[in-house]
Amino acid sequence: MSPRSRRRRATCLIAIGTASVLTLAGFSSGAAWAEEPSTGESLRIVLGSNPQASQIPLLYGVGHYGGDFGLAIGVEQNVTKFDSHTDAVQTLLNGKAQVMATSFSAILDANEQGEDVKMFCPYVSMDDFVLAGANGVNNAGQLFEPSTRVGIDSPGGAGAIVLNALLSGIGEPRDVDELPNQQIIESSSARTAAWAEGKLDATVIHDTQYDGAEARVDRPVLIATLYENAPGFIKVAQAARADWLAQNRELAARYCATTLRAMKALKSDFALFRSAVNEYADAPPSEESLRELFALIGAYPFWTDDGGLSDDSVKFMIDIATESGVLTQPMNAADVVDRTTLNRAVELANMPTG
């Protein structure tokens, strides 16, 4: 069976998603990671994109739940934000961070390049990404016309993989690499701005960004949505070097538990979610858009507080990454997820507080 046939039949899809730095001081070398204090004070976490409303649990967990798991961590102290998946990966590989939260395909690509990097914690699985059209472009077939300017990010980013998943979900047999007029714009915020300014005829952005910009766009249209057309999608995940995880498994699990606990709390309380978005989101959406997003989070598996990262989903991610040109060599799904650490994190997150 061809990869594309597998893609159409699978129930799970994959995840995949410059620099605004909160802090980038005091990094330890890879050799020193084994000496990481149990409170995680020197833990460094790097994000591959500035957080949108759907990506809040990681930051909220670091800022509000570290103490539940004996961690002395905080957003300004421990988190660095970039707006490029390549910067996030390079920061991890250079030994300037121990954990990265970035696109699934970027993590797979690092493994293909010979780096032993493993996913051990979810970040955002399903997301509110949409394929948006403008200027008379209102169907997927038009994306392959030479005159249609399509905004995506570079290979390894979330946008390109999301677009491939959306094309498959709506029955379009062609892939991103066949688009004749690609416009490489790395961040969804920059793509939204270009779409609003009439510089793009189609692009992949967040639903909340679509809502905020559509009034300025010539004939805006939602061509497809990730949550309706790509069930089971996993957009981004958290990963670390395998050797660091082996030496710091309990620390990694306690850190991941902060994300899992935040996911569970935020998706059950809109007022708390709204407060968290206002505190941490790069550009908080309107109240109406936020309520729509909150409903989607409740209806679809955006935040897998049960751990997620199933073998089937990861295998399918590998298939789509291969089709998209991110991977050129076979890869075993079991080799890219540290399920021991993930299972321990789920166990910790489910323990009663107090």
Residue with tokens 């590998």: 318
Please report the domains of the chain, with CATH numbers, ordered by start residue. 3-126+233-349 (3.40.190.10), 129-229 (3.40.190.10)
Asked whether residue 354 carries a pLDDT value surpassing 80, the answer given is no
Residue scoring higher pLDDT (148 or 3): 148
Rounded Cα–Cα distance for residues 255 and 250 (Å): 8
Residue 335: what pLDDT? 86
Strand partners, 79: 45
CA dihedral 150, 313, 65, 208 (to 10 degrees): 30
220-248 pLDDT, tens per residue? Answer: 999 999 889 887 678 899 999 999 999 99
Is residue 293 a contact partner of residue 207, using CB atoms and an 8 Å limit? yes
Q: In 125-161, at which residue ranges do the beta strands (DSSP E only) sit?
A: 129-133, 150-152
Structure tokens at 186: 């790395």
Residue 353: what pLDDT? 79
Rounded Cα–Cα distance for residues 339 and 347 (Å): 12
Residue 262: what pLDDT? 97
CA distances 49 to 86, 100, 147, 153, 297, Å, are 10, 11, 29, 12, 20
Q: Among 101-115, 144-158, 301-315, 322-336, which stretch is predicted with the lowest mean pLDDT?
A: 322-336
Residue with tokens 């290979």: 155
159-198 pLDDT, tens per residue? Answer: 888 898 899 889 998 988 899 999 999 888 999 999 999 9
Instruction: Compute the mean pLDDT over every residue in the chain, rounded to the nearest whole number.
Output: 87
- Region at 114 (left for phi over 0; alpha for psi -120 to 50; beta for the rest): left
Strand partners, 19: 82
Q: What percent of the chain has pLDDT over 90?
A: 64
pTM metric for this prediction: 0.80
Residue 156: what pLDDT? 66
Q: What are the helix (H) ranges across 94-151?
A: 104-112
Q: In 207-315, at which residue ranges do the beta strands (DSSP E only) sit?
A: 221-225, 236-241
Rounded Cα–Cα distance for residues 226 and 237 (Å): 17
Q: Residue 58 CA to chain centroid, in angstroms?
A: 11
Asked whether residue 15 carries a pLDDT value surpassing 90, the answer given is no
Q: What percent of the chain has pLDDT over 70?
A: 89
Rounded Cα–Cα distance for residues 279 and 272 (Å): 10
Going by pLDDT thresholds of 50, 70 and 90, the confidence category of residue 68 is very high
Residue scoring higher pLDDT (232 or 62): 62
Average pLDDT over every residue of 322-337: 84
Asked whether residue 4 carries a pLDDT value surpassing 50, the answer given is no
111-158 pLDDT, tens per residue? Answer: 999 999 999 999 998 888 999 999 999 999 999 999 999 999 887 677
Strands 117-124 and 150-152: unpaired
Q: In the chain, at which residue ranges do the beta strands (DSSP E only) sit?
A: 19-20, 45-47, 79-82, 99-103, 117-124, 129-133, 150-152, 182-184, 202-206, 221-225, 236-241
